[in-house]
Structure 1
Amino acid sequence: MADTRLIQGRYLLLDLIGRGGMGEVWRARDESLGRHVAVKCLKPMGRQHEPSYLRVLRERFRREARVAASLQHRGITVVHDFGESEGVLYLVMELLDGRNLSQLLEDNKQHPLPVPEVIEIAAQVGAALAYTHRQGVVHRDLKPANIVRLTDGTVKICDFGIARLAHDIGFSARLTGTGIAMGTPHYMSPEQIGAGNVDHRSDLYSLGCVLYEIATGTPPFDMDDAWSVLVGHRDTPPRPPRELRPALPEAFEDVVLDLLAKDPGDRPADAGEFVRRITGLPLHRLPPDGPTWAGRTAEPPRLPGWARSMTTGGKAAGSGRPAPQPGPAAALTGRWTHPWAPAAGPTAPSGPAGGPLPPPPAERPPPEALAELAGRHGEGLRLARLDRWAEAGEVQRAVVAEREHLLGPDHPDTLASRYELAFALSRLGRAREALHEFARTAAGRERVLGADHPDTLAARQETAYVLGQLGRHFEAHQVYTAVLAARDRVMGPDHPDTLRCRHNLAFNLGRLGRAAESHALARDVAAARARVLGPDHPDTLVTRYEVGYALGQLGRWTEALHTYQAVAAARARVLGPDDPDTLAARYEAGICLGRLGRSAEALELYRALVEDRTRAQGPAHPDTLRARHGIGVNLGRLGRWEEALAEARDVCAIRARVLGPDDPDTLVSRREVAVALGWLGRWSDALAVYRDVAQARQRVLGADHPDALASRHDEAHCLEQLGRSAEAVELYRQVAAVRRTRAGRGQLT
């Protein structure tokens, strides 16, 4: 949409102010009325959708947009216009001058907001919900990012109707075993999670989650994985907010806990009842927060937003009131606010190993610059949570450069951004760049924090992971072993991070070809995770999945098949049948069937899997294409090589378009084309494809990468089939020499 600067000849797009899973938000000028507006441009609808589907989608969009435009309340963002332009659906809304609640928490370094502000926000949001619920409209996606506080104190709810529209377009919230692809489960009601009946009381539950977070600094169920969050919403009573922040009024805690009742019938009857209870709290009797909350003390009652510009005269607040002194969180002007940061006084500070801390910069960075960088770092994290790794990486790269200039290369904040940059590069498949950044992060953290600090160990563990990505599994094994020893010593054998490292070590042993050791270690880790986390926890199931892989390496395909089938059934039960991790276990079960010679069953499984993945993830999703690749492989095993060739070519073309011509999956498909050509006796054609794959792998992975060497071996085999034995022998000799060199460097066992 950025290329089409003028929509419908009226709305001139000026600046991109936000980007999300469904599209972009632009600051624009309404050329007809001469006012600035916000324009939300939803993602262009793909060609894969049928015309009948698109007609239904457009009608649903118009209906939801009309509902949103009909809402007239000072607490609801005004929708001025909507329509479609060149295949892009758009909404024109009032341009808000303020910060959403997620940004307010980030501005406050994730400390909770002052109690009077929390209660005022609660009252305003409650009033807006009371109005919309009377109109029969349920938001369905209430969360901090959808609630904006304007500069005058007015609070507005955004994106009415967008949640249901997202579901229809295919961007509905989806939970995975390792994170959240779209949306977040932290504010979902139990009935939303269980696909039950959703009414206005679901919004009240989500509001309870929002208030809990802005009042305590953390959501009610803030676990490391989506599955645990889901279970928390469904089964676990939330921890009372006053345990996290004793300064909260008891009556406020009671209201929030009532909102978070598991049974909708146990929540307030409606938003009006909630507003009556929250506005009945006596603001003038709120206790001070005390020193725990960044030096804040009790604040005077805040006026409502509409009265914020009124004044009461000079005598109202008295004169000569001393200016408040900034607390620790506000005093970040060059010194490091970490447990070992120096206190005021003549004693020279020392670092974690007893040596002096690196000196602060000669000139203290301006606090506003540091706050702005912290906000941008947080934005990078948000993009990463949405799997928008390229954007997240660019944000963190810029923040690293500026933090390094202001704070120095070894400042913990600089290293935190460098770690996130490396993580993004790893997820983008740019393993060499990621390795460089992780290594710099680990070295800096070891200097500043010490070798056994959890942050240092985290960076070293990710270093091992990208070494594995690069095929340097022996080096990865050495790093994993050292990190595991430190985690065992510092954290204990059953700590989740220790178990994660042991899992990674088992994974890497498998890639080293040490299948028996990999199987034994993975089996032990699975048992420990089942004991510590539960038998159906996603981490436990991930390790059981790895047990299946090791069994396959050992040729124990029947046991591997049973393991994958059990993992798939457990994941379907706790994550859902269409969760990507559930589908991945089914995919591996198909691999086992093929290896057991049961290719007809494998073919049937993969065809059903393609259908399910197409529905859940789309026809061009890499996982859908992986299942289609399985169809081609098993067609070949059944001797149906013409069909196998056609399938391989089709998958290869889509992968080249979606993933890129040199992506590893694309190259796997191109190799499968060559395999089919060889079985059809078209060896000259096969040789050209094999050479193309070998050259691409050498270019991308390096000449000594195992996959590049395997491709050159394929090429030699093809030469042999063509009767060009001398060339084949020479190529076999070159491959063997490279492998000996790698072994001599200690990169192979």
Structure 2
Amino acid sequence: MGDTRLIQGRYRLLDLIGRGGMGEVWRARDESLGRQVAVKCLKAPGRDHDQSFTRVLRERFRREARVAAALQHRGVTVVHDFGEADGVLYLVMELLDGRNLSQLLEDNAQHPLPIADVLEVAEQVSAALAYTHQQGIVHRDLKPANIMRLGDGTLKICDFGIARLGHDIGMSSRLTGTGIAMGTPHYMSPEQIGGTHVDRRSDLYSFGCVLYEIATGAPPFDLGDAWAVLVGHRDTAPEPPRNRRADLPGFLEEVILDLLAKEPDRRPQDADAVGRRLGAGRAPSGYVPTVVSPPLLRREPAELPAPREARLPSWTRGMTTGHKAAGTGLRGTPPDASAGLTGDWIARTGAHGTPEPVPAERPRPSEELLATLAGRHSAGLSLGRLGRWAEAGEVHRAVAAEREHALGPEHPDTLASRYEVGFTLSRTGRPADALREYTHVAGARERVLGPEHPDTLAARQEMAYVQGRLGRHFEAHQLYTAVLAARERVMGADHPDTLRCRHNLAFNLSRLGRLEDSYRMAGEVAEARARVLGANHPDTLVTRCEVAYALGQLGRWPEALQTYREVAEARARALGPDHPDALAARYEVGISLGRLGRSAQALELYRGLVDDRTRVHGAAHPETLRARHGVGVNLGRLGRWEEALLESRDVCAIRERTIGADHPDTLVSRREVAVGLGWLGRWADALVEYRRVAAARERVLGAGHPDTLASRNDEAHCLEQLGRGAEAVALYRKVAAVRQQQASGAHRPH
């Protein structure tokens, strides 16, 4: 590659950063966005590979690159783009400014890193591995050279998905010529060496090797011969690290040795467990907090006291207090980050003006501790504002535990942290857990602050929201109604929090099937918000989307289309055309066009949306895949079923890989595959897919769920097309019987 090579007319290669068995890494400039990036150019297959192998390799590369691009975590290198140019496969990644752990050891003359640095690496990398393993991704080649420490102390894991590609291409070093599995010998797990099944526990073994090396200065089996290294991993117990470094904390040695267990079942079973043990080991022995979900506490080990500010993770330093972003979800506005935190706790008085019982007297925590906890609370809010909800949840759980210990379980600050824990659970797809948290906070706030205090109402409103998420719309309606009446009494009809509650109530009415009521109330809220907040305020536009949704449900699609278009244009002007809310409104425009039979226009819109979503969020982002699903649907509506089937299969494969085979979005894609097969006359293949969807929905949702019953009807229709009429009739009758039973029970009291 030449020094000024331009890839795909966009990425200009500037300097060669590194070269290895997989290819080359270049510092490059993205000419379109004017930013510096790293471009990894992978070596092409050798001449001994035939064209069919090359095609398979390209498809594998595309799939692995999309998986890597879908990973969104502060501890994982961001993949921006990928492709092929002149026969060379390439990945475009964020350009990292730092040193990998191997280089840090070299800089330190192969002496071990300071213990505080070892613990920082251990905790940050375990958090990143926990995230990637939850996505179903195994790295397979974790080593010091693949872990980068940036200038601000952030650790990032590199090269997800590349290890398996290296194996396919044939670039891995064959240590003996006997077909040893892909990996780097000093960090390979026994199961990799044996060629048996590899899962996340193999990564944990490699992680143990990395920690052993940075803690002692040498890997656990530092032998001169590659084969001897492999035999050591397979057969030899590692020397305890404290034999090499006496000042190593005992709990850290135990974690490392457990990670290096020969049998996968004897290792920690996930990286979260490793993080919890590290956090507990760093905590002072007198107090180990009990929390809803174990936090990654950031404490210095007892052996090495450190300044108080070192307890904060490096990635939170420099964060400023700010309001949490409202986003596009329906939710309450939290109190200002600076209000009500670490102040005096004044319990409300009882019915006769006497103070209600308060918790037993406890020593007042130091101002330094209170300020630290307030800062960490603000850091959690800032992470949420950036959309980093899982990390925000870790911070808020840790702060909630320490506030409960220092201030008591019903102190307003403790409850503020637990409220934020509930919010992060809601935003990370755990509504049942969020409901339990909100219920606790609402009950405690009612006892401490009173039933109509704004903070109590905020918690009760979030309870209603997650009840709706759980499909408990009648309970949500009752709670929204009660909260709305209290908000109108306390705050007035036009207060933003009152309007937010009315908006949520309108949303819930539509889910109860009361479409006219929903449309009427949403229209009233939109008018009030335009008057109070302005016509282009994000909250006003969110309500206008709800108006459009109700119009569509009422069959008034031309009006729905016009409203969605107006919202999309207003959001593009106010927020920018690439803002997620602006792109979401464009998606709804496509839905409306499809409903009006304007499939060619919908197809054009969705293709443009796919390009924009890919550029902004990545090829495997859920919203990118949602837009691609729209492309497939409208190709089918236009009778282009071969193209529709290819698109649906590709989207289904990516969704299955990234979010799981039983996820509702994956099942929607699989059904679309079945529809395409049916239209192409391949009914036997369609039946297989319909049955897979029906079985998954029955397993996840239950036999009587409407989606499960719809899938069984799809299956019956397919049987009809195959001439198996008796089986089809029996299945139709079974579905009808379930529906009749449900209808007869609908009028019974609940």
> TM-score under structure 1 normalisation?
0.55
| Letter of the structure 2 residue corresponding to residue 635 of structure 1 | L
* Matches for 1:550-589 after TM superposition, within 5 Å: 550-589=550-589
Q: Shift in Å at residue 599 of structure 1?
A: 0.7
Q: Shift in Å at residue 360 of structure 1?
A: 2.6
* Matches of 2:702 and 2:350, distance apart in 1: 41
Residue-by-residue CA offset, 1:640-673 (whole Å, 9 max, x unaligned): 2222121111111112223333333222212222
* Matches of 1:392 and 1:662, distance apart in 2: 27
- Quick check: 1:16 aligned with 2:120? yes
Query: CA contact under 8 A between 1:713 and 1:735: conserved in structure 2?
Result: no
- Quick check: 1:397 aligned with 2:397? yes
Distance 1:572 1:688, change over 3 A: same
Residue-by-residue CA offset, 1:272-326 (whole Å, 9 max, x unaligned): xxxxxxxxxxxxxxxxxxxxx99xxxxxxxxxxxxxxxxxxxxxxxxxxxxxxxx
* Matches of 1:701 and 1:433, distance apart in 2: 18
**2:118 aligned counterpart, secondary structure:** strand
Q: Shift in Å at residue 703 of structure 1?
A: 5.4
| Letter of the structure 2 residue corresponding to residue 15 of structure 1 | L
Residue-by-residue CA offset, 1:437-476 (whole Å, 9 max, x unaligned): 1122212212222221111111111111111111222221
Query: CA contact under 8 A between 2:325 and 2:384: conserved in structure 1?
Result: no
Q: Which residue of 1 aligns with 2:634?
A: 634
| Letter of the structure 2 residue corresponding to residue 423 of structure 1 | F
Q: Shift in Å at residue 555 of structure 1?
A: 0.8
Using the aligned pairs only, state the percent identity.
61
Query: CA contact under 8 A between 1:470 and 1:701: conserved in structure 2?
Result: no
Query: CA contact under 8 A between 1:465 and 1:476: conserved in structure 2?
Result: yes
Q: Which residue of 1 aligns with 2:176?
A: none
Query: CA contact under 8 A between 2:713 and 2:731: conserved in structure 1?
Result: no
Q: Shift in Å at residue 2 of structure 1?
A: 9.5
Residue-by-residue CA offset, 1:204-227 (whole Å, 9 max, x unaligned): xxxxxx9xx8xxxx77xx797699
Query: CA contact under 8 A between 1:599 and 1:637: conserved in structure 2?
Result: yes
Query: CA contact under 8 A between 2:712 and 2:731: conserved in structure 1?
Result: no
* Matches of 1:493 and 1:460, distance apart in 2: 18
| Letter of the structure 1 residue corresponding to residue 617 of structure 2 | Q
Query: CA contact under 8 A between 2:522 and 2:544: conserved in structure 1?
Result: yes
Q: Shift in Å at residue 354 of structure 1?
A: 4.6
Q: Which residue of 2 aligns with 1:361?
A: 360
* Matches of 2:699 and 2:410, distance apart in 1: 34
Distance 1:370 1:577, change over 3 A: closer
Q: Shift in Å at residue 638 of structure 1?
A: 1.4
Q: Which residue of 2 aligns with 1:337?
A: 344
* Matches of 1:678 and 1:487, distance apart in 2: 53
Q: Which residue of 1 aligns with 2:528?
A: 528
Q: Which residue of 2 aligns with 1:319?
A: none
Query: CA contact under 8 A between 1:396 and 1:417: conserved in structure 2?
Result: yes
**2:120 aligned counterpart, secondary structure:** strand
| Letter of the structure 2 residue corresponding to residue 621 of structure 1 | H
Distance 1:561 1:353, change over 3 A: farther
Q: Shift in Å at residue 709 of structure 1?
A: 4.7
* Matches of 2:573 and 2:103, distance apart in 1: 46
Distance 1:402 1:564, change over 3 A: same
* Matches of 1:704 and 1:400, distance apart in 2: 40
Query: CA contact under 8 A between 1:702 and 1:708: conserved in structure 2?
Result: yes
Query: CA contact under 8 A between 1:361 and 1:407: conserved in structure 2?
Result: no
Residue-by-residue CA offset, 1:656-703 (whole Å, 9 max, x unaligned): 223333333222212222222333344443344334334434544555
Query: CA contact under 8 A between 2:477 and 2:508: conserved in structure 1?
Result: yes
Q: Shift in Å at residue 565 of structure 1?
A: 0.9
**1:7 aligned counterpart, secondary structure:** helix
**1:635 aligned counterpart, secondary structure:** helix
* Structure 2, gaps ≥5 residues long: 1-74, 78-99, 108-112, 130-143, 145-149, 163-305, 329-337
**1:15 aligned counterpart, secondary structure:** helix
Residue-by-residue CA offset, 1:174-205 (whole Å, 9 max, x unaligned): xxxxxxxxx99xx9xxxxxxxxxxxxxxxxxx
Residue-by-residue CA offset, 1:615-644 (whole Å, 9 max, x unaligned): 222212211111100001111111222221
* Matches for 1:32-111 after TM superposition, within 5 Å: 39-41=153-155, 44=158
Q: Shift in Å at residue 422 of structure 1?
A: 1.3
Q: Shift in Å at residue 37 of structure 1?
A: 8.6
* Matches for 1:307-706 after TM superposition, within 5 Å: 337-338=344-345, 340-341=346-347, 350-351=349-350, 354=353, 356-364=355-363, 366-367=365-366, 373-701=373-701, 705-706=705-706
| Letter of the structure 1 residue corresponding to residue 530 of structure 2 | A
* Matches of 1:223 and 1:374, distance apart in 2: 15
Query: CA contact under 8 A between 1:716 and 1:727: conserved in structure 2?
Result: yes
Distance 1:353 1:438, change over 3 A: farther
Query: CA contact under 8 A between 2:473 and 2:512: conserved in structure 1?
Result: yes
| Letter of the structure 1 residue corresponding to residue 686 of structure 2 | A
Residue-by-residue CA offset, 1:521-552 (whole Å, 9 max, x unaligned): 11111111111111111111111111111111
Query: CA contact under 8 A between 1:481 and 1:505: conserved in structure 2?
Result: yes
Distance 1:541 1:682, change over 3 A: same
Q: Shift in Å at residue 518 of structure 1?
A: 1.2
Q: Which residue of 1 aligns with 2:244?
A: none
**1:6 aligned counterpart, secondary structure:** helix
Distance 1:619 1:397, change over 3 A: same
* Matches of 1:570 and 1:558, distance apart in 2: 19
* Matches for 1:219-258 after TM superposition, within 5 Å: none
Distance 1:10 1:742, change over 3 A: farther
* Matches of 1:352 and 1:673, distance apart in 2: 64
Q: Which residue of 2 aligns with 1:726?
A: 730
Cα RMSD (Å) of the superposition? 4.1
> TM-score under structure 2 normalisation?
0.55
Distance 1:483 1:448, change over 3 A: same
Q: Which residue of 2 aligns with 1:56?
A: none
Q: Shift in Å at residue 560 of structure 1?
A: 0.8
Q: Shift in Å at residue 357 of structure 1?
A: 3.1
| Letter of the structure 2 residue corresponding to residue 533 of structure 1 | L
Query: CA contact under 8 A between 1:353 and 1:450: conserved in structure 2?
Result: no
* Matches of 1:19 and 1:531, distance apart in 2: 47
Residue-by-residue CA offset, 1:219-272 (whole Å, 9 max, x unaligned): 7xx797699xxxxxxxxxxxxxxxxxxxxxxxxxxxxxxxxxxxxxxxxxxxxx
* Structure 1, gaps ≥5 residues long: 25-29, 31-35, 49-149, 160-182, 188-209, 228-292, 295-327, 342-348
* Matches of 1:536 and 1:554, distance apart in 2: 25
Query: CA contact under 8 A between 1:468 and 1:476: conserved in structure 2?
Result: yes
Distance 1:151 1:398, change over 3 A: closer
Q: Shift in Å at residue 589 of structure 1?
A: 0.9
* Matches of 2:101 and 2:592, distance apart in 1: 53
Distance 1:152 1:568, change over 3 A: closer
- Quick check: 1:7 aligned with 2:103? yes
Equivalent residues, number: 465
**2:535 aligned counterpart, secondary structure:** coil
* Matches of 1:680 and 1:606, distance apart in 2: 23
Query: CA contact under 8 A between 1:380 and 1:395: conserved in structure 2?
Result: yes
* Matches of 1:438 and 1:704, distance apart in 2: 30
